[in-house]
Amino acid sequence: PLVFRELVSMTAEGTATRKRVSIERFKDSPGAQEFIKELCGPQARLLVTDKKGNSATVEVAHEKLFESWPKLKKWIDERRDALRMKQQVESAARQWAESGHQMSHLWRHERLEPVYEMLERLEITDLDEPLNSFVRKEANRLLEELRDAETTHYRRAEIGDRLAQIG
C-alpha cells in the first residue's frame, strides 16, 4: 500500500491519476524499494523511474494500470475518498507553509478529525513536514500557546473557551 498510496493522485471527480514521486520518499522502507525495483523490471514494466541530476523519481507507467489490475483497482475504489482527502490536506499544508505558518491557515479540531481517520485508513504513520505540523492536534497547539509567557490574558481566555468547546 505504501508505494501506490504515494503514486496515486485523485482528480476532483474522483478519477485515479498517476503522480511522480521522489525515490527518496521510500528510503526508509526496504520493502517498498524492492517492490519498486520488481515493478520497474523488464518482466513487469509497471512502474518507471527517471533521474535528472541528483533527483530520481518513480511513477506508474500508464494510468490504465489503475483499472486493469483488479487488486489495485479494488484498493483504490475502497480508499477513493481517503486518497482525495490526503491530497487536499497535503495542498493545505503546503499553502500554510508558504504563508509563513500563519495560525489562521491551520485547520480546527472539527476539520482535523476526519484527517486522522484518513491517516489511519491509509496506514500513514510517517508524515513529512510541513504535513506533520499542519495536522497537529489543535488542543496541543493551544496548550503550547498557553505555556508561552507572552500570551495575553484575553488570548488565554479565548484558548480556555476553545479547549472547553473541543472537549
Residue tagged 475518498 (cell numbers):
81
Looking at residue 62, the DSSP 8-state letter turns out to be -
- Whether the pLDDT of residue 142 is over 70: the answer is yes
Which residue's entry shows cell 496506514?
123
Using alpha carbons only, how large is the chain's radius of gyration in Å? Answer: 20
Region 86-93 average pLDDT: 95
Mean pLDDT of 94-101: 96
Cell of 160: 480556555
Distance CA 24, CA 102 (A): 29
Its pTM stands at 0.85
For residue 154, give the 3-state DSSP assignment. helix
pLDDT tens per residue, range 130-139: 999 999 999 9
Task: Supply the pLDDT for residue 1.
Answer: 66
Q: What is the pLDDT of residue 13?
A: 86
Grid coordinates standing for 138? 489543535
Residue 56 contacts residue 64 (beta carbons within 8 Å): no
Per-residue pLDDT tens digits for 147-163 = 999 999 999 999 999 99
Average pLDDT of every residue of the chain:
94
